[in-house]
Amino acid sequence: MRLADGTRLTPEIAEDIVEQVRRAAGLASLSCTASSPQIAFRVGATLRERAAAVAARDKRHRLDTLTAALQASADSPEAKAKETEHQQRM
């Protein structure tokens, strides 16, 4: 199957389209009744492929996998120690 511009529709492109539609429609809030804040960033092709492989292995969406990885990093003892150190300097 091809998109209107002739691009071949791959599973990765389909997932990106679904993510864009979800963002446009607005996802349910993660913590309250208001809209959830969004973070957008770019990654290299290798990291994107690795994230897609992990998501496929875990039967999750790539976005959910990346969100979980970011949460785990933010919750790590090292991150919490740096946050405490930063707050003490303020």
Pairwise CA distance, residues 23 & 4, whole Å: 21
Instruction: Scan for tokens 């897609």, then name that residue.
Output: 52
The first and second tokens of residue 75, run together, are: 């919750």
The first and second tokens of residue 69, run together, are: 């990885």
Which pLDDT value is given to residue 24?
67
Q: Tens digit of pLDDT for each residue in 2-53? A: 888 888 888 888 888 887 777 666 555 566 656 667 778 888 899 889 988 9
pTM score of the predicted model: 0.52
Pairwise CA distance, residues 57 & 15, whole Å: 15
- Give me the phi and psi of 44, to 5 degrees please: -70, 165
Which pLDDT value is given to residue 57?
92
The average pLDDT across 48-68 equals 89
Cβ distance 49 to 55 under 8 Å?
no
Which pLDDT value is given to residue 21?
77
Q: Predicted confidence band at 66 (pLDDT cuts at 50, 70, 90)?
A: confident
